[in-house]
Amino acid sequence: MSGNVTWDIKSGRILFFRRPFHEYSLRGRVTLSQMPLSITAALTAVLMLMFFPGTLGNPLFIAFLATQVLILALCYLIPWHRLPFASFLVVPVLDFVSIALGREGGQEGLTGISLLAVFPVIWLCASGLYPRASLVASFVAPLAIIWVPLFLHGNVTGPDLARSLLLPVMMLGIGVSVSVLTLSMVRQQRDLEEKDAQLRVTLKESKRQEELLNSVLETVHLGVLAVDADGHDILMNRKQRENHRLASPAGNADPNESQLLVFQADRTTTVPVEQRPVRRAVRGESFTDNLVWLGSGSEQRAITTSARAMRDQDGSFAGSVIVFSDVTDLVNALAAKDDFLANVSHEFRTPLTSILGYVELLLDDYDGLSDPRREALLIIRRNSERLLGLVSDLLASRSGQLIVSPQAVNVAELVRASISAALPRAAAAKVRLRADAPACLEAHVDSGRMSQVLDNLVSNAIKYSPDGGDVVVSLDSEGSDLVCRVSDTGMGMSDKDQAEVFTKFFRTGNVRNTSIPGVGLGLSISKAIVEAHGGSIQLRSAPGEGTTFTIRVPV
């Protein structure tokens, strides 16, 4: 390999240019543009030496060869980049003069030397500079190479002039073709440069967005993992790498999914591989707040996982993004809260039971009590029973599970009993309370627990209708389900409140700003009771339009 020539060993070809033409310096491009004519002139000299040695004694032909050597040297030696840009066009003009000398001095040996004019014609027209002048030169210069000697010798005839027109016309055609091709290439190059500039701007913006995304992902205190459709990791931020190390067994730096320490809520039972968050996400599942425990021993952490599937333009599954959130402190706080509620509730239950027992003994001594004292004892009993009921609710909410004892029960009687018990409160609140139930509708339910649900829903309906209104309790059967609806025309709830209404200790913002009593456990316990029966409870509500709770329990 030397200069601009490279030998390709595999193909056996000589590659004259190691890089694209436009990447050379201006001096290199001028020199390379002149080389085809110079090489052809050298071959012409060789032919003359071999077959017409006498021609080499012609001063004009020697001048042709000398000018070609001189022009090539000037192309290489002159610092064209320091001169005006179009100054290099003087080279093809000098080539026309040199070719004219060679034609006049070499006619006795080789004819057609004037065809060498094609090289400066191509150079002029391919430069893209002064296209009209280049086309004129493409015709006039070859014509001058032929006509000027005729006029100098004085042998000018019409047929001679006519015969010499073919070469200039041919050169003009070549010049037009080269100009058209050059113009097209220039336009294509300009378009490519514009697109290249746009791509560079887009690439720069893409890199900036990527850097911003990476900065955000590395900053957030959430583990983020992106996988493709085959389950291969695409992206994993710093927090998720920490989670991965936490779940890795000791001594295994790169475990697979089945080897990771992932446990269920009891912190000891291993989550089956197919039920692990990442494996579920790879199958295309979307889920929210799936709780698992990672690691073992004192370093074990509670993690909630959420996943969303990614789709390509055709809607096909392209992977998933899984988010891991450390909720260990929250889980421990909830456990501490439940323990506190259980301890306090047990501590309250014993004195309350004792108070109620002694109140009942005093009330049994009816003859020895005056009416004011009896009224005071009734108030003590009522408030103690209410407090004991609250303690029972706290215990039930803490356990999260309720034991029910289903038996054949006429649920219609439970509805009527609940309505009858609530009539005094409804009258005091100016609420019209009625039941819409058949005479008999039996189902296997726990009568005490189901009455607790009905009493709670009816009580809430009356309580949250502070300006009066209608409360209707309807009962019916739909297929194999018993359906009970409790509807009111009271305050209603927003969509946000409806999403939280069955949460322990939740009370809506409107209720907290009023004097309506409650601790937010009734609906949570009612939901637990209904689900313990294998049923469901739903609601439909709108602010200012009332609320309807629907209970469905298998008959």
pLDDT of residue 5: 46
Q: What is the CB-side half-sphere exposure of residue 359 using CA atoms within 13 A?
A: 19
Type and span of the H or E element at 532? helix 522-532
Residue type, 335: A
In the CATH hierarchy, which fold is given to the domain comprising 407-554?
A: Heat Shock Protein 90 (3.30.565)
Torsion sign across C-alpha atoms 42, 48, 51, 57:
negative
Q: Which CATH class is domain 223-326?
A: alpha beta
Residue type, 368: G
pLDDT of residue 366: 61
State how far the Cα of 461 lies from the Cα of 546, in Å rounded to an integer.
Answer: 9
pLDDT of residue 399: 56
Angle subtended by helix axes 131-153 and 90-106, to nearest 10? 30
pLDDT of residue 520: 62
332: helix, strand or coil: helix
Report the candidate in 147, 120, 117 with the shortest Cα–Cα distance to residue 134: 120
User: Domains of the chain: which residue ranges?
Assistant: 19-193, 223-326, 336-399, 407-554
Angle subtended by helix axes 26-51 and 59-77, to nearest 10? 160
State how far the Cα of 312 lies from the Cα of 319, in Å rounded to an integer.
Answer: 9
State how far the Cα of 388 lies from the Cα of 382, in Å rounded to an integer.
Answer: 10
State how far the Cα of 193 lies from the Cα of 213, in Å rounded to an integer.
Answer: 30
What b/e sequence results for 284-296 when a residue is b if at least 16 CB atoms lie within 10 Å of its CB, and e otherwise?
Answer: eeeeeebebbbbe
Angle subtended by helix axes 118-126 and 90-106, to nearest 10? 170
The one-character DSSP state at 365 is: -
Q: What is the CB-side half-sphere exposure of residue 229 using CA atoms within 13 A?
A: 7
- Between the CA atoms of 497, 499, 503 and 506, what dihedral angle is there, to the nearest 10 degrees? -10
Per-residue pLDDT of the chain (555 residues; tens, 9 = 90+): 334 444 444 444 444 445 676 678 889 889 998 999 999 999 998 988 888 888 888 899 999 999 999 999 999 999 998 998 889 999 999 999 999 998 888 876 677 788 899 999 998 998 888 889 999 999 999 999 888 888 887 767 777 777 778 888 999 999 999 989 888 888 888 898 899 999 999 999 988 988 888 888 888 888 899 999 888 888 888 888 888 888 888 867 678 788 888 998 888 899 998 999 999 999 989 888 888 999 888 889 999 999 999 998 888 899 999 999 998 888 888 777 777 766 776 677 778 788 888 788 777 766 666 777 777 777 787 777 767 766 776 666 555 556 678 889 899 999 998 888 888 888 888 889 888 888 888 888 888 788 888 988 998 888 888 778 899 999 998 888 899 999 998 888 888 877 778 776 665 655 544 445 555 677 888 888 888 888 999 989 888 888 999 999 987
pTM equals 0.46
- Between the CA atoms of 15, 21, 26 and 30, what dihedral angle is there, to the nearest 10 degrees? 60
Angle subtended by helix axes 90-106 and 26-51, to nearest 10? 0
């027209």: which residue's tokens? 125
Residue 484 · residue 475 · CB < 8 Å: yes
State how far the Cα of 439 lies from the Cα of 410, in Å rounded to an integer.
Answer: 9
- Both tokens assigned to 31: 């020199």
